[in-house]
Structure 1
């Protein structure tokens, strides 16, 4: 999601950061966990430091772009299970009913309500904080899947001792917490969109009444 040649919050917070973490984790398991010797040619990489500074961030970004849709697909299925089901925002029903009373067209159903409100808000408030909520949602969602994957890999790569069991418990706990945090920020995003839309239409109605 490049905007005028610049990285957006989503690019940095979801793609680049997640891709960086996944790359270092993959390198750790390849060279340490699987006991694969570090390649001799890697020592000469310092001679190409100028190119690496450009190539590595792009590689992280592309890696993150590859991970994000997989995480999105997996989380959609995981959230169907009891412990992982997301909570709706508070007073969502009354908030949605209030939104519907201010819609210009009654044919805009609940399925398209959020998308419509988001489109209107983004058109009117281009500098809103929605992108920050969205980026944090994407970051936590992708990280929860990566940590769950590391949890699974650890059982096959490392021995079953107290330290590794403790690490796996920590990974599982963090994966669960990151999933829940992603759901929280998704709710924050939805709530912010609805309230911003309400603020927009109410202020517009007040201006019309004053005229």
Structure 2
């Protein structure tokens, strides 16, 4: 039960902070382009009831993040990742470890499935989750999702500012800045993503090692 609660908390972290970033970017843009003033924002926040501040707004931000998730995931899969995949190299250390652990699992634990499935990651992940062996990989998955969302929002902000800026020169300059930030966030997301498979494989192998030890003792 505790493990399940931790997983849900990591999900909430990703969704709520993503929603907060959306609100911050929208507010920032409306302030910069003088659609509202800072005084308007202060008056709005001061005038909010306590229940709204404590419950409604956090729930609303989490809902925004939840709705953002599939959009950012689709955009990352079909646009950002193909666009920047060659510019963001995977860390050799993690990739090498992943291949070594994957080979060990294929040869010793997949049995007849060895060679029939492309990647044992999904099976191992399901095994680790079902037995509630560890939530460490959920931390990496959550942070990967958050930085992927950040990259998407920064990318879209750059395109938006390109068209609403007072001149094309300023718009292009702002676009470049936003896209540098988006690339940085995407690179950070890939760093956390590279931790996932090795972490899941280690949990799987450790549990199997304990199972073998118990069998020998009995």
TM-score of Structure 1 vs Structure 2, range by shorter chain: 0.7 to 0.9
Structure 2 distance, partners of 1:123, 1:113, is 15
After superposition, residues 142-181 of structure 1 pair within 5 angstroms as 142-160=149-167, 167-181=174-188
Structure 2 distance, partners of 1:110, 1:122, is 20
Counterpart of 1:67?
Answer: 68
Structure 2 distance, partners of 1:73, 1:28, is 25
Shift, 1:129, TM fit? 1.0
Q: TM-score, normalised by structure 1?
A: 0.82
Counterpart of 1:15?
Answer: 15
User: Which aligned runs of 4 or more in structure 1 are off by greater than 6 angstroms?
Assistant: 39-42, 161-164
RMSD across aligned C-alpha pairs, in angstroms?
Answer: 3.1
Shift, 1:185, TM fit? 1.0
Shift, 1:154, TM fit? 1.5
Shift, 1:67, TM fit? 0.9
Q: Is structure 2 residue 97 aligned with structure 1 residue 94?
A: no
Counterpart of 1:36?
Answer: 35
Aligned length: 207
Q: Residues 154 and 199 of structure 1: is their aligned pair in 2 closer, same or farther, counting only changes over 3 Å?
A: same
- The answer as to whether partners of 1:118 and 1:193 remain within 8 angstroms in 2 is yes
- The answer as to whether partners of 1:100 and 1:106 remain within 8 angstroms in 2 is no
**SS of structure 1 residue aligned to 2:120:** helix
After superposition, residues 71-150 of structure 1 pair within 5 angstroms as 71-78=72-79, 79-81=81-83, 82-83=85-86, 87=90, 89-91=94-96, 92-103=98-109, 105-107=111-113, 109-111=116-118, 113-150=120-157
Q: Residues 204 and 178 of structure 1: is their aligned pair in 2 closer, same or farther, counting only changes over 3 Å?
A: same
Structure 2 distance, partners of 1:134, 1:51, is 32
Counterpart of 2:46?
Answer: 46
- The answer as to whether partners of 2:16 and 2:65 remain within 8 angstroms in 1 is yes
Structure 2 distance, partners of 1:4, 1:183, is 26
Structure 2 distance, partners of 1:188, 1:40, is 44
1:35-66: CA deviations, max 9, x gaps? 32469798466344213211111111011111
- The answer as to whether partners of 1:18 and 1:143 remain within 8 angstroms in 2 is yes
Q: Residues 111 and 51 of structure 1: is their aligned pair in 2 closer, same or farther, counting only changes over 3 Å?
A: farther
Shift, 1:31, TM fit? 4.4
Between 41-50 and 62-71, report the one with greater CA deviation: 41-50
Q: Residues 150 and 44 of structure 1: is their aligned pair in 2 closer, same or farther, counting only changes over 3 Å?
A: closer
Between 66-75 and 116-125, report the one with greater CA deviation: 116-125
Counterpart of 1:26?
Answer: 26
Structure 1 distance, partners of 2:195, 2:167, is 40
